Amino acid sequence: MKKGAFYSSSSRSRMLAREAVEAQEAAAPEPSAVRVFWNKHATRHEKKLLIVSSVLSAFLVIGLYALLVPQPRQYTQHDIDLAVRSTLESLPPGPSAASKAYAVIRPSVVRVNQLEKEKDSDELAIKGVGTGVIIDEKGTILTNLHVVAGAERVGVEFVDGTKSEAEVLSTDPNNDLAVLRPSTIPDDMVPATLKSTAKLQPGDEVIAVGNPFGIGVSVSDGIISGLRRSYMTEGKTILSNLIQFDAAANPGNSGGPLVTTDGEVIGIVTGILNPTNQRVFIGIGFAVPIENAARAAGESPF
Report yes or no: 262 and 101 within 8 Å, Cβ to Cβ: yes
Q: What is the CA radius of gyration of the chain?
A: 48
**Active-site residue among 108, 164, 225, 254?**
254
Cα gap 80→167, rounded to integer Å: 59
Q: Is 63 helix (H, G, I), strand (E, B) or coil?
A: helix
Is 146 annotated in the active site?
yes
Which residues, at least 6 apart from 264, have a Cβ–Cβ distance to it below 8 Å?
104, 192, 193, 194, 195
- The values of phi and psi at residue 107, to 5°, are -65, -15
Task: Give yes or no: 78 in active site.
Answer: no
Which residue(s) pair with 286 in the sheet?
Answer: 244, 271
List 108, 164, 176, 220, catalytic entry: 176
Residues 6+ apart with CB under 8 A from 222: 205, 206, 207, 208, 245, 246, 247, 248
Cα dihedral sign, 57-63-67-68: positive
Active-site residue list: 146, 176, 254
